[in-house]
Structure formats: structure tokens, C-alpha cells
Amino acid sequence: MGENPMRIVVLDGCAANPGDLSWDALRALGETVIYDRTPTEEIVPRALGADAVLTNKCPMTAETIAALKGLKYIGVLATGYNIVDVAAAKAAGVAVTNVPAYSTRAVAQHVFALTLEIASRVGMHARAVAEGEWTNAKDFCFWNAPLTELAGKRLGIVGYGAIGRAVGEIGRAFGMMVDAYSPSRCEKSRLDEIIRTADVISLNCPLKPDTAEMINRSTLSMMMRGAWLINTARGGLVNEADVAEALRAGQLGAYAADVVSVEPIRADNPLLTAPNTILTPHIAWAPYETRVRLMNIAVNNLSAFLTGTVLNRMDV
């Protein structure tokens, strides 16, 4: 960068660091400006003159990259990097990095937070106790919904990368029988078998053209009646209207998701009014320890770039 300090702009730092972490390690690498959020129309004005831009969800399109003449580096504060036109960045000589594998255990944990809420209904019963139902109960115990033991149930994992394997480890610890399918292997018959036989299906695969809405009216009709579907991957993996219909019909026993097709969730999303549905606001990746790891990797990526080292580069 010559004698001039590197200029770093963080476009939407609030998600990774809403204030409980430190940006000091990033500031040590250069003159740093941090925005909590950046509207699309403000991306270019705010990033003008930057050598490095860090982004979580702010899109770096071909037009944006072309407008930022001095840009040398784009760091994605996430694993998925579809918000960056990598081909345009490469053509412009702009390095692109991501943060892989930082949230594997946290996401697997959240899969079972959702699964256990369906199985044990802890939240429902805690609210009932707080509202006086136990105080007024005729017996020493009560339950307002069926409770389920996971041991012996068949867990079908769709997407058997690092997260899928971690989900499988936890499932086995609960005594579940684990089946797995990797979309990259294109074993359609294997996927059909899992869909037909699993008591619980966990979606842990990327959203790609061949996986978009892979859960739809047809595949839902193949599932065992009353099966549970857990989605911590991407909302676009399911047809949400079809899932809501299957829930209302009782074909699908429960749907629990940390993601939806459009985020923040729209008021007209059919899942908001579907029965036996649990939705969390895209938080599987967000434990404190996980975000510390994300920040450390993001800083290391940029530091490596400054020394000419290839680390987590998507443009090579």
C-alpha cells in the first residue's frame, strides 16, 4: 500500500459485532471506518477510496466493483459469498475472501435446539407454568402437547458437509439412527429414501439451482405422515407455501427453521400462520464465541492478504 495507510471500510458490521466485540485488531491494519448498516444506494459513496471493504450482506455487484477504482480487497464476514460478483472482482484484480467453518458447532447446536423444542416443548410448558397452570393443576404434573423421545428415531441429514456431520454426531449421542445424503453426489434415489423413511429431516446443504425448493409438495407427500423438518441452511431450500399447506393438512408434523426465503421475514409469509411451526431469526451462527471466531478469521484473512499470502480466497 506504499506509505499511505490502508483504508478499510466495514459496510454492515452490526450483525457480527453489535457492540460486544472489539474492532481493534482490524483497526491495527489500517485507517478503518465502520458502519453498522449501509443502504444499497450508499455502498459506493461510503466505499469510495477504500483499499479494503468488509461486508456481510451488502452486495458487491459488478457495477459496484467497477465504480470503486482503488479497491483491492473484499472480505465477506460470512461463509456464503454469493453477495459478491467474484468473476467481476477477479477481472478487476480484487481479492475476495470468506470466513469458512466458523459456525459449524453453533449451527449443529441450533438444529437440536429446534428439534428438542419440538420433542420436549420446553418453551410452551415454561410459559404455562409462569401463567399459573401448574399452580392450579390437579396432579403433580401435566403436559399440553405430546412429548417425544428422540432415541430410536431416524434422522435424515440432507447435506453432509462439516455441519451435517456435526449434526449426525449429536443425533447419534441422542440414540438416533442417522442417514445422510450429499447433493453434490447427485444420488437422487438416496435422497428419496431418506425423505420416505426419516422421522426427522435436517436441511444442511447450500442453496443452489439444483437444491432450490427441493422440499415441495411432491417431496412433502413422500414423507412419513407426521415427520419433522428442520431448516438451518437457507429458506429457499423449501417452498414455504407448500410447507405451510403440509402442516395444515397434518402431513408434516412440525417445521422448525432459522431461515426464510426473504429476510427479515415478510408479514405475509405463510409460515407465520402455519400450525406446529417454530421460527427463529437467523441466529444459529450468532453465539458470542462463534462471532469472536468469525472476527478473528476475517482479520487474519486481511492480514494474510497484506503479506501476499493466499488465505480463504474465493477469487483464485
CA distance 246 to 225: 10
Please confirm, yes or no, whether 240 is among the known catalytic residues.
no
Helix or strand run (H / E) with residue 47: helix 43-47
DSSP 3-state of 210: coil
Please confirm, yes or no, whether 313 is among the known catalytic residues.
no
SS3 for 233-244, per residue?
Answer: CCHHHECHHHHH
Closest to 6 in 3D by CA, of 299, 298, 295, 306? 306
Please confirm, yes or no, whether 234 is among the known catalytic residues.
yes
Q: Which of 165, 190, 282, 313 is catalytic?
A: 282
Using the 8-state DSSP alphabet, how is residue 1 labeled? -
Q: Which of 172, 263, 266, 289 is catalytic?
A: 263
Q: Which of 234, 240, 291, 293 is catalytic?
A: 234
How many other β-carbons are positioned within 10 Å of the β-carbon of residue 266?
11
CA distance 5 to 16: 25
Beta strands in 7-77 (DSSP E): 7-10, 31-34, 52-55, 73-76
The count of residues in the chain is: 316
Instruction: List active site positions.
Output: 234, 263, 282
